[in-house]
Amino acid sequence: MIAVGIGCRRDSPAARIGAAVEEALAQAGLAPGTVDALAVPAFKADEPGIVRAVEELGLPVKLVHRSELDAVQPLCATLSQAAEEATGLAAVSEAAALVAAGRNARLLLPRIARDGVTCAVARGDGARWSVG
């Protein structure tokens, strides 16, 4: 299971989100057809740019809940003070990718940040994390 985690500032345009996803995949050496899901924090599910980018990319979406994002923070490679101030989470895209990829996930590409959008790529076994 390969998942691309997405994070973004409010009102980020779909074109920027799509470009960041494409760049992340290129840096990870992956073709779009190898991605199983885009991982989006549930609190960003209604963000217009994300909604449109998801439609344009044509990939399934996995919404990741805050409790799941919290649980994997220690596994994230890149921590952002700005993200923590904005969301209460030091890592958004990496955490989303790790959760969506499943247990035993590892980052194939730590977070990249471009024009207010972050993306990370993870591979895992696809099994749900158990969050206590």
Range of the domain at 48: 2-123
Q: Is the pLDDT of residue 132 over 60?
A: no
Q: How far is CA 82 from the centre of its chain?
A: 17
C-alpha–C-alpha distance, residues 5 and 120, integer Å: 5
Is 131 domain-assigned? no
The predicted-structure confidence for 31-52, as pLDDT tens digits, reads as follows: 988 999 999 999 999 999 999 9
pTM of the model: 0.93
The answer to whether residue 130 is domain-embedded is: no
- Structure confidence at residue 2 as a pLDDT band (50, 70, 90): very high
45 is written with which tokens?
A: 């599910």
Indicate which CATH number applies to the domain containing 46.
Answer: 3.30.420.180
The count of domains in the chain is: 1
Render pLDDT for 70-101 as a digit per residue (tens, 0 to 9). Answer: 999 999 999 989 888 888 999 999 999 999 99
